Amino acid sequence: MFRGLSRKLIILVCLFSIILGSAIGLIGYSTYMDTTMTRYEEFAVAVLRLAYAYIDVDDMVEVLETGERSQQYNNTQVAFNTIKETQGITFLYFFAIRDNMMVYFINAYTQREVEMLGEDEKIVTLNSVDPLPYELNEMINNPDDRIWIIPTDTDYGHMMGAFYAIRDDNGNIIGILASEINMYDIDSTIQVYVVTVLLGAIIIISICVFFMILYIRKKVTLPIQRLSESANNFVNQETDEELKAIISTIKSKDELETLSESIEKMTMDMIEYIKNITIITAEKERIGAELSVATQIQASMLPKNFPQQKELELYASMRPAKEVGGDFYDFFFIDEDTLAVVMADVSGKGIPAALFMVVAKTLIKTNAMSGMSPKEVFDISNDLLCENNDAEMFVTAFLGYLQISTGRFKFVNAGHNFPLIKKKDKFEWLETEVDFVLAGMEGMPFTEGEITLNQGDELFLYTDGVTEAHNIDNDLFGDPYLLEVANECTYAKPNEFGDFIIEKIDAFAGEAPQADDITMMLLKYNG
């Protein structure tokens, strides 16, 4: 049911429409309408005849059969585009009829339409289809060789079009040439006429508007002004009671009163929401500060003082994907002649991975410093990490012992990426025995391998954040490309080598966000 304001406005609009329609609307409208329609029909027919002059029927049949655009087809397309651009027609096109569908052969488009839709999204292209308007059925079934003026209702609006059926020697329809004008354009022309006539009735309209303004001011303007004051007070952060006092004065018993009640509820809800969001924001800031501290703590756990001795050079770095990550590296001297290196990757990311990383790092280093071999370190650490591992997290890890005096290098690989080893100025894969991950299953055996590093040999350890870095097309950096990139920088110092790898990863990823921690270590043995 309509409430007070709607009923009042409807009565006013009806009275105004009756007076205005009686005094002005019927004067000359019918005559002008017929004249305008005739003129536009003649215009549509003229455009159709002009377009028909550019059609080569034989070429048209060949293109429809093969689906391949010919030079003549392209010339016809350009001619149609020019006609549409210069004549201001709404649509100009030619189509064949297949299975009660319009199969487009040529559709004209203007430069403005190209700019709006893009060069690759022209309005209708060869072999595009649309349903056949039912209004064309009479023309299709009629053998008369004439131009038909047919109004149609399409997805593009109400159209008035000129249509001409192009037939072969047997009288069969090859296709239909059409030029259409949107009835909106015709209506706009009629509106211009009506507006012109209306200027002669300004005095009558002005008197009506005067009294209407007085009425609307009392019934509409003043209530809306009170709503505006309420909104302004809300912006100025007045109290809840002051807002309610202003809104409650609106008692118009119509939609404005309903609106004021809705605004009052919305205002109270908004105030409550602001209070809640303030609390949430403060909590997020607190969590952010704690994460920042956690990041600093994690970074401090990774060694930064690289060995300074002539027998070896070492460099390592870790760039987390989030504030804190699950990757870690470590290096430490077990005795004066033995250097241990660790590269590991904890499953998952964020705080849980970081906590698990701390436990794994501590266990590996503690067991290694107690004099255990790499195999024994992983045997013990694996069993301890499996205890109470309700989160079912795991660690891929590589542990190696370098005997500095001889170059003897013993190592164990627990599900980690194959390292790269450089011998004779060329990197290649160190294909180790890959055992099961740490914390995956209690009692798993680990296999110890051994190689000898000669003077100038280098060992490159890394996590899967390097090889699984991806670009915006989801292409992976990958093992082959890592090997290729590494061999582009065989004579660099360890720190320069690490920076070079990072630069290549960033260049490859482009604007794609970093999905995983990127951790790497380069050990060079000088003998």
Distances (CA, A) of 329 to 315, 381, 399, 514: 11, 16, 10, 19
How high is the pLDDT of residue 314? Answer: 95
Mean pLDDT, to the nearest integer, of 345-354? Answer: 81
Band (pLDDT 50/70/90 cuts) for residue 415 is: very high
**How far is Cα 342 from Cα 349, in angstroms, rounded to an integer?**
19
Mean pLDDT, to the nearest integer, of 370-381? Answer: 95
Half-sphere exposure of 479 (CA within 13 A, CB side): 9
Mean pLDDT, to the nearest integer, of 31-37? Answer: 75
Distances (CA, A) of 341 to 210, 305, 395, 402, 408: 91, 14, 16, 8, 13
Mean pLDDT, to the nearest integer, of 305-330? Answer: 86
User: Could you give the 3-state DSSP secondary structure of residue 147?
Assistant: coil
Residue 130 scores a pLDDT above 80: no
Band (pLDDT 50/70/90 cuts) for residue 3 is: very low
**How far is Cα 230 from Cα 244, in angstroms, rounded to an integer?**
8
102's tokens = 């319009």
Mean pLDDT, to the nearest integer, of 270-293? Answer: 74
30 versus 80: the higher-pLDDT residue is 80
410 versus 10: the higher-pLDDT residue is 410
**How far is Cα 166 from Cα 64, in angstroms, rounded to an integer?**
14
DSSP of 418-479: PPEEEETTEEEE----EEPPBTSSTT----EEEEEPPTT-EEEEE-HHHHT-B-TT--B--H
How high is the pLDDT of residue 29? Answer: 66
Mean pLDDT, to the nearest integer, of 73-80? Answer: 89
454 versus 297: the higher-pLDDT residue is 454
Residue 90: name the closest of 192, 186, 176 by CA.
186
The sign of the CA dihedral 197, 203, 205, 206 is: positive
Band (pLDDT 50/70/90 cuts) for residue 270 is: confident
**How far is Cα 53 from Cα 55, in angstroms, rounded to an integer?**
6
How high is the pLDDT of residue 134? Answer: 77
Band (pLDDT 50/70/90 cuts) for residue 375 is: very high
94 versus 24: the higher-pLDDT residue is 94
Mean pLDDT, to the nearest integer, of 235-244? Answer: 56
The pLDDT tens digits of the residues spanning 94-126 come to 888 877 788 888 888 888 877 776 654 444 455
**How far is Cα 441 from Cα 388, in angstroms, rounded to an integer?**
12
**How far is Cα 120 from Cα 308, in angstroms, rounded to an integer?**
61
How high is the pLDDT of residue 2? Answer: 44
User: Could you give the 3-state DSSP secondary structure of residue 338?
Assistant: strand
Element (H, E) at 397: strand 395-403
Residue 21 scores a pLDDT above 50: yes
Percent of the chain beyond pLDDT 70? 76
Torsion from C-alpha of 134, 139, 140, 144, nearest 10 degrees: 170
Band (pLDDT 50/70/90 cuts) for residue 320 is: confident
Mean pLDDT, to the nearest integer, of 411-425? Answer: 94
How high is the pLDDT of residue 121? Answer: 45
Residue 5 scores a pLDDT above 50: no
Band (pLDDT 50/70/90 cuts) for residue 340 is: very high
**Which of 8-17, 221-230, 243-252 bottoms out in mean pLDDT, i.e. has the lowest?**
243-252
The pLDDT tens digits of the residues spanning 177-231 come to 988 888 776 667 667 766 676 666 667 766 766 666 666 666 666 666 666 566 6
Mean pLDDT rounded to a whole number for the chain: 81
How high is the pLDDT of residue 122? Answer: 44
Residues 6+ apart with CB under 8 A from 223: 250, 252, 256, 257, 260
Mean pLDDT, to the nearest integer, of 432-458? Answer: 94
395 versus 136: the higher-pLDDT residue is 395
Element (H, E) at 266: helix 255-301
**How far is Cα 60 from Cα 49, in angstroms, rounded to an integer?**
17
Element (H, E) at 52: helix 29-52
How high is the pLDDT of residue 1? Answer: 40
The pLDDT tens digits of the residues spanning 463-492 come to 999 999 999 999 999 999 999 999 998 888
Residue 462 scores a pLDDT above 80: yes
Residue 290 scores a pLDDT above 70: no
Mean pLDDT, to the nearest integer, of 400-414? Answer: 96
337 versus 9: the higher-pLDDT residue is 337
How high is the pLDDT of residue 209? Answer: 62
| Selection from 244-248, 305-309, 501-505 with the highest mean pLDDT | 501-505
Mean pLDDT, to the nearest integer, of 324-328? Answer: 77
How high is the pLDDT of residue 278? Answer: 80
475 versus 8: the higher-pLDDT residue is 475
**How far is Cα 499 from Cα 520, in angstroms, rounded to an integer?**
10
E-strand stretches of 146-253: 148-154, 157-167, 173-182
